[in-house]
Chain A
């Protein structure tokens, strides 16, 4: 290549660079954002105040969640999102006290609509509720049981990943994150206590979390999620505990009607070795299952919509959740953790961002000895 051509190529490259930077409209054909705006910071949040009256027990008033969300735009392409949550109003450092949790604290690098990079503390993209849990957007005072003991919401972890959308409403997220800690699994709450929550999380072998969803048709969301990780890092010299979570969900909203359904299953390999090791360590066999499963369906309908005083909706939800679904060889299944629930109630929205909720929860299990308590619940939740 002679010098003349080389010089010309350099000039062309320089011209392209200058032109791309100078022309917002053209630049958007390659990237979504070109103009820098002044730094912007916004504060929002939601709160959740409950009264719970379990059967045969005194009622309890609980300021369940006080959550502040923060977003700061360094530029149109670089943003910080934070979510700080105070649970149960008080933090004492004891087991039954509240928790102060950093549920989100990540930076998004918005490269294009199709590919963006996220790093920091992130919500796991699993199920309906985990990424969509503002009180006015779901029926019921408490979150679904399936989204508590099978999908351990709020499930957040430190990591890095990509997300984006292609075509008309096809979205994906793929994250590398810290795994669950199998040493904290148990029979009743499944994998819930295994969340490391970004607190010096072990990242010896990163877990992968991914979700694909379709939101291209108005009111319809169909999604599927997978999580897979090696959770036996406390026992790695002897064995590992590979864990997988698969989930599928659908949500449909049309005018006054809202339908939801979700199915989730957890597989825990080497559950027998895990139970044996934990029994030796703490003296009690945690009876962790090798498969856990849960699903629910929900119908909600706004019986009053658009009235001057607000909207009123009624709902019914059926849940089936079993943290002892399939046991490892030699383990005895505990039938009290094979549960089902009917939750029925109503929500009054005096404003779209304020929800007054009341419901009754009928819970049954397969045990002939241990009863699952029903409960009457009242909640006030708001978003600002």
Chain B
């Protein structure tokens, strides 16, 4: 039992260390070749795709556009929070590196209508 618990604690410490050393802010230093490009479309009241899978440590280049009004794109627990321009006004790009294995929730951060609270998605880092 004690051995099991020590193993568990050790694993947790390792995972935590990885998380602490990898702040969730966008990382700029990874070369473009290594980036995983993700295109996300926003419209009232959904992101498509709303689920993005990647490997921990991979730099995501997220390209966002709106099909209607201005939306926000905020990755909860990070500094990533940008405004998407209204329909027809171009694409905005943001980089994000999920340094640790986990689920990173993203959401619309600009009130966009009655169903605004449903606009959420997740980046799954494996």
* A interface, CB within 8 angstroms of B: 4-5, 8-9, 12, 15-16, 19, 22-29, 32-35, 42-44, 46, 69, 71, 76, 79, 81, 83, 103-104, 108, 113, 123, 131-134, 136-137, 163, 165, 167-169, 171, 215-219, 221, 253, 305-306, 311, 351-353, 383
A32/B51 in contact, CB under 8 A: no
B69/A167 in contact, CB under 8 A: no
Complex CA distance for A137 and B112, rounded to whole angstroms: 11
B83 close to A (CB within 8 Å) = no
B116/A81 in contact, CB under 8 A: yes
Complex CA distance for A8 and B6, rounded to whole angstroms: 9
Q: Which residues of B contact A171 (CB under 8 A)?
A: 118
Complex CA distance for A169 and B5, rounded to whole angstroms: 38
B93 close to A (CB within 8 Å) = no
B92 close to A (CB within 8 Å) = no
B55 close to A (CB within 8 Å) = no
Q: Which residues of A contact B105 (CB under 8 A)?
A: 28, 32-33, 113
One of B45, B69, B99, B116 near A352 (C-beta < 8 A):
B69
Complex CA distance for A168 and B122, rounded to whole angstroms: 9
Q: Which residues of A contact B44 (CB under 8 A)?
A: 132, 134, 137
B51/A168 in contact, CB under 8 A: yes
One of B5, B50, B99 near A165 (C-beta < 8 A):
B50
8 A–B pairs (Cβ distance < 8 Å), ordered by A: A8-B2, A16-B12, A33-B105, A132-B45, A216-B48, A311-B88, A353-B69, A353-B86
Q: Output the nearest chain B residue to A134 by Cβ-Cβ distance.
A: B113
B114/A83 in contact, CB under 8 A: yes
Q: Which residues of A contact B117 (CB under 8 A)?
A: 79, 81, 108
B2/A29 in contact, CB under 8 A: no
Complex CA distance for A33 and B102, rounded to whole angstroms: 12
A306/B88 in contact, CB under 8 A: yes
B69/A131 in contact, CB under 8 A: no
Q: Which residues of B contact A42 (CB under 8 A)?
A: 110-111
A23-B16, A35-B77, A136-B68 known; A168 and B50 CB under 8 Å? Answer: yes
Tally B residues with Cβ within 8 Å of A.
Answer: 52
A383/B24 in contact, CB under 8 A: no
One of B15, B86, B120 near A26 (C-beta < 8 A):
B15
B32 close to A (CB within 8 Å) = no
Complex CA distance for A168 and B40, rounded to whole angstroms: 13
Quick one: which of A22, A24, A221 has the most chain B CB within 10 A?
A: A24
Interface string of B1-24 (1 = CB under 8 A from A): 110010011001101100110101
Given contacts A44-B113, A216-B50, A253-B67, 5 further A-B contacts (CB under 8 A): A25-B24, A32-B103, A33-B76, A69-B113, A131-B115
Q: Which residues of B contact A216 (CB under 8 A)?
A: 48-50
Q: Which residues of B contact A253 (CB under 8 A)?
A: 43, 67
Complex CA distance for A22 and B21, rounded to whole angstroms: 12
Q: Which of B24-58 contact A (CB under 8 A)?
A: 24, 41, 43-46, 48-51
The 5 closest A-B pairs by CB, nearest first: A32-B105, A29-B102, A25-B100, A25-B19, A23-B19
B48/A134 in contact, CB under 8 A: no
Complex CA distance for A169 and B122, rounded to whole angstroms: 11
One of B9, B102, B116, B118 near A28 (C-beta < 8 A):
B102
Q: Which residues of B contact A69 (CB under 8 A)?
A: 111, 113-114, 116
Complex CA distance for A338 and B90, rounded to whole angstroms: 47
Complex CA distance for A12 and B43, rounded to whole angstroms: 45
Complex CA distance for A215 and B69, rounded to whole angstroms: 18
Give, as a whole number of angstroms, the nearest-CB distance from B11 to chain A: 11
Complex CA distance for A23 and B103, rounded to whole angstroms: 13
Q: Which residues of B contact A5 (CB under 8 A)?
A: 1-2
B111/A215 in contact, CB under 8 A: no
A25/B99 in contact, CB under 8 A: yes
A26/B16 in contact, CB under 8 A: yes
Q: Which residues of A contact B111 (CB under 8 A)?
A: 42-44, 69, 71
B86/A113 in contact, CB under 8 A: no
Q: Which residues of A contact B24 (CB under 8 A)?
A: 24-25
B19/A26 in contact, CB under 8 A: yes
Complex CA distance for A29 and B120, rounded to whole angstroms: 16
Q: Which residues of A contact B70 (CB under 8 A)?
A: 353
One of A12, A22, A103, A167 near B51 (C-beta < 8 A):
A167
Complex CA distance for A25 and B27, rounded to whole angstroms: 15
Quick one: which of A28, A33, A113, A163 has the most chain B CB within 10 A?
A: A28
Complex CA distance for A19 and B44, rounded to whole angstroms: 37
One of B48, B98, B99, B113 near A132 (C-beta < 8 A):
B113
Complex CA distance for A340 and B27, rounded to whole angstroms: 58
One of B13, B48, B67, B87 near A19 (C-beta < 8 A):
B13
